[in-house]
Amino acid sequence: MAKVVILGAGLMGTAISVPLADNGHSVHLVGTHLDGDIIEEIHETRLHPRLRTRVADSVTPYTCDRLAEALQDADLVVLGVNSRGIRWAAEKLGPLLPPEVPVLAVTKGLDGDGQRLRILPDVFRAGLPAQSGERVPLAAIGGPSIAGELAARRHTCVVFTGWDQSLLDQLAALLRTPYYHIWTSTDVIGVEVAVALKNVYALAVGLVGGFLEKEGQADNGAVMHNLAAAIFAQGLAEIAYMVDYMGGQPRSVYTLPGAGDQYVTSMGGRNGRMGRLLGLGLPYSQAKARYMPEDTIEGAELAMAIGPTVEALIERGELDGAALPLLRTMIRIVCRDAPAEIPWDEFFAA
């Protein structure tokens, strides 16, 4: 059995410990500098306070200052940090990570620097020491996976993506269980772009909850599934455009990383809650500060991370703005507190 170190004791970082522990691996769960209360609670009660799930006895919790100790003789490192923590994780792991130890990321997102967009595995690798960064084997997990469902051992279907098929097969064998179903793909760009962008489109689908609350059900009980479906479909079309632009494969858009992950994220969670507030008419900055100050809204985080770069690429003619009306709208809503107005006449034009 393997020794696996998970960096990040949040929802998904801890949830991924469940199939690992069920497969008999020795798991060391290392909290970030923000996870101190979680690690303390696991030490005292074996319960994760947010996941509301018992952490297996074979999972050993560590505070961040003990990362070097936890990494001794590790066979695999799992990145359980959120998208904002990817550079921090590279900085912390860089001096300690042996170049032959693979890293498997559950982190989803994109990065923009005003000139280009990058997938997070590339951002992570760039943050590692130059002498070892290029040699560290990297892979990532994409697809519809709600942490609470995985922790409850509900059937979950995901894709492991990376550049080395043999590594993907090895990692899939470590984590595959009767409830955790794993496929593999070497389309790293397609998978990573799809699983990142679905967050901002799930935020857009969430607007419908607010629209419905404002208008109320129709006299015949009708709600707004038609509206939500159109927004969902436009989002999927825009993901397809962006995957093609960045050099990925269309199959990733219409399988688990794209359609599957966008569906599950649109069903609720923090993106949905924030979308409802925006649909009710609250500016993003007000909704965030008043109602969700401690929550990470991945769709909004993505809009802020890539918004200026997307707008610059459109301005330079490198991206076709007509193909991205919903992304442009969500960037304006999040980054400039624009009202939640759907540009219907621009949908499905490209």
Return the active site residues: 198
Contact between residue 26 and residue 1 where contact means Cβ atoms under 8 Å apart? yes
User: Both tokens of residue 66?
Assistant: 């003990």
CB count, 10 Å around CB of 21?
18
Length of the chain: 350
User: Both tokens of residue 79?
Assistant: 């990145």
Q: What are phi and psi of 20, to 5 degrees?
A: -65, -45
Cα–Cα distance for residue pair 8/90, rounded to 1 Å: 13
Report the amino acid identity of residue 78. Answer: V
Q: Whole-angstrom distance between the N-terminal and C-terminal Cα of the chain?
A: 51
Cα–Cα distance for residue pair 139/16, rounded to 1 Å: 15
Tell me the HSE value of 192 on the side-chain side, using a 13 A CA sphere.
28
Residue corresponding to tokens 């301005």: 315
Cα–Cα distance for residue pair 317/139, rounded to 1 Å: 32
Cα–Cα distance for residue pair 250/244, rounded to 1 Å: 7
How far CA 105 is from CA of 6, 157, 259, 283, in Å, comes to 10, 16, 20, 33
Label residue 106 exposed, middle or buried (CB < 10 Å: 0-12, 13-18, 19+). buried
Longest dimension (CA), the chain: 67
> In sequence order, what are the residues at sequence separation of 6 or more whose Cβ sits closer than 8 angstroms to the Cβ of residue 211?
224, 227, 279, 340
Q: What are phi and psi of 59, to 5 degrees?
A: -100, 120
Q: What is the DSSP letter of 39?
A: H
Q: Single out the residue of 347, 155, 111, 116 nearest to residue 236, CA to CA.
A: 347
